[in-house]
């Protein structure tokens, strides 16, 4: 997957994190556990505002969700996803939410005019981090999978 960039001033506020530095690897591990995200041999290292994650994920989707759960926390500017993937698939597009966005609007941008009703595909692709389709915020990075 490689390096994903995030806006470090926005996201989940974890213990020990601030806008200059990410939370500890232990706190980030708790964030993944909260979302029931894991990988075999998962290892998280933190260097200032950069987080590196290694291990073996079951799927590309799982690896992407791990990156998003780590990156959408205060203090993280980049996630270097070095996870190996057991069942590789096409990577999703990553999109940073801007002011005024809704999942409907994002669906129309990525899937085409008249396809706003496909917002549920984006919502499902970002659960469990998203708990409701109306609860997105500027600066948040979302997975936008291809339509099947």
Q: How many CB atoms lie within 10 A of CB 20?
A: 10
Q: What is the CATH number of domain 93-144?
A: 3.10.350.10
- Ranking 19-28, 58-67, 75-84, 135-144 by mean pLDDT, the lowest is 19-28
What backbone torsions phi and psi does residue 35 show, to the nearest 5 degrees?
A: -95, 5
Residue range 128-138: mean pLDDT, rounded: 95
Looking at the chain, the number of H-run helices and the number of E-run strands are 4, 7
Provide the whole-model pTM. Answer: 0.92
**Pairing mode, if any, of strands 40-47 and 50-59?**
antiparallel
* Residue tagged 């270097």 (tokens): 80
Domain ranges of the chain: 2-87, 93-144
């Amino acid at each position: 997957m490689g390096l994903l960039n995030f806006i470090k001033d926005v996201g989940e506020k974890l213990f020990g994190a601030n806008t200059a530095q990410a939370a500890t690897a232990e706190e980030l591990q708790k964030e993944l556990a909260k979302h029931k995200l894991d990988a075999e041999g998962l290892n998280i290292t933190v260097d200032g505002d950069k987080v590196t994650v290694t291990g073996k994920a079951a799927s590309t989707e799982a690896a992407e969700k791990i990156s998003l759960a780590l990156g959408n926390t205060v203090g993280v500017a980049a996630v270097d996803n070095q996870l190996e993937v057991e069942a590789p698939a096409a990577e999703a597009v990553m999109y940073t939410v801007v002011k005024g966005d809704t999942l409907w609007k994002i669906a129309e941008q990525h899937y085409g005019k008249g396809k706003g009703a496909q917002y549920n595909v984006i919502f499902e692709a970002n659960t469990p981090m998203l708990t409701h389709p109306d609860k997105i915020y500027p600066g948040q990075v979302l997975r936008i999978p291809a339509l099947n």
